[in-house]
Amino acid sequence: MINKAGVLGAGQMGSGIAHVLAQQGIEVVLFDIAEAQLAKAVSGIEKNLERQAKKGQLESAAIPAIMGRIRTTQAMEDLADCDMAIEAVTEKEALKLEIFRKLDGIVKAGAILASNTSSIPITRIAAVTGRPDKVIGMHFMNPVPVMQLVEVIRGLATSDETFAATTALVAKLGKETAVSADYPGFIVNRILIPMINEAAFALFEGIATVEDIDKGMKLGTNQPMGPLTLADFIGLDTCLAIMNVLHEGFKDSKYRPCPLLVKMVEAGYLGRKTGRGFYTY
């Protein structure tokens, strides 16, 4: 039973995960190294809850109790008594491995260590801990309060008990589980990110404009947004990081990142979060 959970990283994904956990009655310790990011996350969660209340998805009177279940900290040691810790930091392997090494020495024995990684192998992450049977992938979709899917990824050593506790938590959050084997990109990003990369190639090779590529995919395949709009929403740096994981993991040229995508990231054109990507915001 997960009664108290730590969330590491107070960015868009981490704050969303904290939001849904607290909304379902779970005590949350939200960790980040930046005090300003923690303040931004708390403010954002409260605004999102108020938005839910206006839509009739939540009673306004419940908001103070939900917010009261979220505690913020800049000290990882404050996660010591959590039943589960969910890492949701930047998609950089070295950083994640460092965090899991530290977590393993801090969080109580028997607690589950989960990663919200969208592409990095769980077995590799688990190997730096002394509890690989308690390590699992728990990939939430963005925006977390809205999206109904969580990819659950078992590492080579993940126990049946850890898997059962994790899928039970997903159900408690009112979401659906999709189970993936532990290979780069898992299910969603193994399919999605190469599509975005191919859209970038179509632009790079002069096949069509940004607008026509997105229009073609929206109206031609009934997607809610075109792949280049979606790339800007995800962040071009994140898209490139996942393509690199796929390319390195499978050693297959079909996963080669588009040179245009690489150049845009080098230029700092990362999408919505920087005001410029395939579109200008």
C-alpha separations of 94 from 9, 99, 132, 183, 242 in Å: 15, 9, 18, 18, 14
- Per the annotation, does 155 bind a ligand? no
Catalytic residue, candidates 119, 139, 180, 244: 139
Q: How is 146-163 classified by DSSP, letter by letter?
A: T--EEEEEE-TT--HHHH
- Per the annotation, does 12 bind a ligand? yes
Residues 147 and 141: beta-carbon distance below 8 Å: yes
Edge-to-edge strands, sheet with 70-73: 70-73, 27-31, 4-8, 84-87, 112-115, 135-140, 149-154, 176-180
- Phi, psi (5° rounding) for residue 4? -140, 130
Query: Is 266 marked active-site?
Result: no
Tokens of 10: 């107070």
Which residues fall within 8 angstroms of residue 108, CB to CB, at 6 or more apart? 80, 81, 82
- Per the annotation, does 48 bind a ligand? no
Query: Is 118 marked active-site?
Result: yes
Peptide bond into 145 cis (omega under 30): no
Query: Is 19 marked active-site?
Result: no
- Per the annotation, does 10 bind a ligand? yes
d(CA 161, CA 233): 36
Catalytic residue, candidates 151, 180, 197, 244: 151
Tokens of 81: 């008594």
Query: Is 3 marked active-site?
Result: no
Q: Residues in the chain, how many?
A: 281
- Per the annotation, does 118 bind a ligand? yes
Name the amino acid, one letter, at 28: V
* DSSP-assigned beta bridge partners for residue 115: 87, 137
Catalytic residue, candidates 116, 119, 189, 197: 189
- Per the annotation, does 14 bind a ligand? yes
Catalytic residue, candidates 48, 116, 118, 180: 118
- Per the annotation, does 32 bind a ligand? yes
Tokens of 30: 């939200």
CB atoms within 10 A of CB 204: 13
Binding site per annotation, positions for NAD(+): 9-14, 32, 91, 96, 118, 142, 273
Residues tagged in the binding site annotation: 9-14, 32, 91, 96, 118, 142, 273
Task: Give catalytic residue positions.
Answer: 118, 139, 151, 189
